[in-house]
Each structure stands twice: as C-alpha cells, then as structure tokens.
C-alpha cells in the first residue's frame, strides 16, 4: 500500500551535523520498515518526511567531490565562522548558510515512483515554479543538476544547488535555494565543482530582501502538488 502523505517539519535554524544525524535517523527508520515489511503478512506503510531548515555557515563535500574545491584552510574556516563536512550525498562542494532555504525530502520513492531522474527533475521543477511566481525564469542546464538563470548566456548563474542520496529507493539530502544568502561565502569554494558559472540569490535578482516564509510556502505548495501528496504535521 502506497503512503503519499508527507510529514512536514520546519526546523528553523539548525546545526548542520545535528540535522544530518536527524536525517540519518529518519532515513534508517524508513529503510528498516521496508526490510521488515518483506517478511510481514500485514506490512506497515512507510513514512515520508520533508524537512525545511537554515544552517549556520557550512561547506559540505559530496562523496564524488574534490576537496581542492574548498579554497580556504582550517584557520580561514574558523575566521569565517564556518564548518566543513564530507558527507554521503552525490555532487561536489556547496555552501549552506543563513538566508538559504534547505529542503531535505526523506521519501520512500516506492510510495510515489521509482525513478531517481524523475525525482531530481521534480525537485528542480518546484524551484522553477517558485521562481516563476517572482517573475524569474529558472532553467535547467544540460548535465548539471540544479536550477539556473540565463543558462545560454555568459551571465549564467546558479540559484539552487542539489545533491541527494538514494538507497533502497529512500532519499535524503536535497536542495539549497539561495533566497537572501550571503554570496560572499561562495568565493571560498568552486561551487559544485563548476568554475565557469556564478551563483546568485533571489534577493539579488529582485533587488530587495525576500520574506523567507513566503518562499517556504511556495516551495512547499509546489512539492506537494508535483508529488501528488498530502501534508501532515506529524
């Protein structure tokens, strides 16, 4: 039996490692339930979670990333009030910080569809649809996961980075949407390992700071609609 209910939690501002541990806990619970269901005559539907969070300044390097894309040393990390983690998602290096909406879907894709490429495109589409509500045209860049602006121009720039893990069709990690982010922190890395394209933030494109809760509402709406899901608070 498919469970298309998503348990939504807005975690506010949360330390990266604490949130990573929490993701792992939820992820492992879902995987364990799937394994238990194999031998059960009355299988219990697995749960799906969606976490929204902001992190203090942190750089994370995916398992396929190159550590040389972090351009500062340990002392400079401390001076920038930032931390650094090697983590178990796909993708290269990225930055998380205040003013950035990070979304972590911990979904059992058996409840929706077992197609990781479709899953990634849905995450991108939620941001593209949100940007359209601010009269900004978000785009995909061939071979580069995430959401971009002016892809075919010299001014191409990334507004949303993505990196996920999927095992037994259970997902974790997710997307990072620059809303009011301090873009100076991106100067300390080669974002996503891509040296020839810039990054941007929604407030920079619009010319004023954006209410983060407004953006959260829009992104949540589009994710729920795309996955044809219903929301629960617990």
CA dist 219 to 10, 123, 196, 198, 227, Å? 12, 9, 28, 23, 12
Is 160 part of the annotated catalytic residue set?
A: no
State the Cα–Cα distance between residues 189 and 95, nearest whole angstrom. 8
State the Cα–Cα distance between residues 8 and 216, nearest whole angstrom. 11
Rounded to 10°, the helix 212-226/116-132 angle is 140
Q: Find residue 78's DSSP bridge partners.
A: none
Which of 227, 94, 211 shows the shortest CA–CA distance to 161?
A: 94
Active-site option among 19, 160, 166, 192 = 192
The set of catalytic residues is 192
């Amino acid at each position: 039996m498919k469970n298309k209910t998503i348990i939504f939690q807005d975690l506010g501002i949360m330390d990266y490692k604490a949130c990573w541990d929490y993701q792992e806990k939820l992820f492992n619970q879902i995987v364990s339930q799937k394994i238990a269901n194999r031998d059960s005559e009355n299988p219990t539907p697995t749960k799906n979670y969606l976490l929204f969070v902001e992190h203090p300044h942190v750089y994370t390097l995916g398992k396929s990333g190159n550590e040389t894309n972090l351009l500062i040393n340990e002392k400079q990390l401390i001076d920038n009030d930032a931390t650094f983690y090697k983590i178990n998602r796909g993708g290269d290096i990225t930055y998380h910080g205040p003013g950035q909406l990070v979304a972590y879907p911990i979904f059992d894709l058996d409840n929706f569809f077992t197609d990781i490429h479709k899953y990634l495109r849905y995450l991108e589409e939620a941001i593209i649809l949100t940007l359209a509500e601010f009269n900004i045209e978000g785009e995909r860049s061939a071979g580069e996961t995430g959401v971009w602006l002016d892809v075919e121009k010299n001014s191409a720039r990334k507004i949303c980075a993505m990196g996920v893990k999927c095992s037994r069709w259970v997902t974790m990690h997710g997307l990072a949407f620059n809303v009011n982010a301090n873009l100076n922190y991106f100067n300390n890395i080669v974002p996503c390992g891509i040296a020839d394209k810039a990054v941007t933030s929604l407030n920079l494109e619009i010319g004023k700071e954006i209410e983060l809760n407004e953006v959260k509402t829009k992104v949540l709406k589009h994710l729920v609609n795309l996955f044809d899901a219903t929301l629960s608070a617990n």
